Amino acid sequence: MKLKFWGVRGSIPSPGEKTVRYGGNTTCIEVRTDANELIILDGGTGIFPLAQTLLKEMPLTANILNTHSHWDHIQGLPFFIPMFIPGNMIKLFGALDPISGAGPEHIMNVQLQYSYFPVREVEMKSRFEYVSIVPNQVFKIGDAIITPVLMSHPVVNFGYRIDCNGKSIFFTGDHEPHFNIYDPDDDGYAEYQSLIEEQRQFIIDAIRGVDVFVADSAYTLDEYSSKKGWGHGTFDSCIELAKDAKVKVLYCTHHEPTRSDDELEKVFAEALDRHAQQVGELDIRLAREGTEIVL
């Protein structure tokens, strides 16, 4: 199995000289199974440069696993060139929205309106297939086994575990550690804390032992104090989760868009220093556009 980062920034694209080393595109990861099935994790702006490389593979089937419908994870989808070419199959997997009752087709139906985009879905030349998925309902794509896991975010967000012939990866999408909404002296505190611990253990078990863990580490500890509830993790929370799940390699991603590459390396180094005595053999890295990993 192989994976390649095409977009590692969060919230909004941030191109420019200060982000050139790690990249300014929003979330997109290419995964290739051992049988060369194409799986794409999220359709942020990074899916556009990915599309350029796929032109030599036509016709193709692209399996796009959407973590959630926030803008930075879908805004590149209308520019995914294989959608415009006859003979291609685009399969978009995503959550069934509990409020609207709509599945992942809603992501394209909303974006491909004339108010927002000049080409409607009916004018696309490829074939579309929408697959609504629910938490923990395992499915297969070729020789890969996919497990969607409900994470913590203000909208339904799936993390995805991908297992293929003894190798595995897990991508959180956007994830903030669950926190207690009650004060310690409130009657509901203990019961709610028990639910939090149960959910955290469930996520640990879902991630446990993966070869590559890609996690939302948008904030520093200081930043998080004013952004609690926004749905994103910290370097520290990701390191702790990776350590508890006994993963092999952690890639920190969803880089804060206002943070330059130099600043990113600085706060990352500070987080590593804080955990230097606890990580053991865990390998911790910053996700970078263009990085390819072969498992």
Rg value, the chain, Cα: 19
pLDDT of residue 123: 87
pLDDT of residue 248: 97
Closest CA to 107 of 88, 87, 80: 80
Q: How many domains does the chain have?
A: 1
pLDDT of residue 233: 97
How far is the C-alpha of 175 from the C-alpha of 196, rounded, in Å?
Answer: 14
pLDDT of residue 57: 94
pLDDT of residue 121: 84
Helices (H) and strands (E) in the chain, counts: 6, 14
CA torsion 179-185-189-191 (nearest 10°) is 160
Q: What domain range is 9 assigned to? A: 2-294
pLDDT of residue 99: 76
Residues of the chain short of pLDDT 70, as ranges, are none
Report the CATH number that the domain containing residue 217 is assigned in CATH. Answer: 3.60.15.10
pLDDT of residue 98: 74
pLDDT in tens, 156-215: 999 999 999 999 999 999 999 999 899 998 999 999 899 999 999 999 999 999 999 999
pLDDT of residue 7: 98
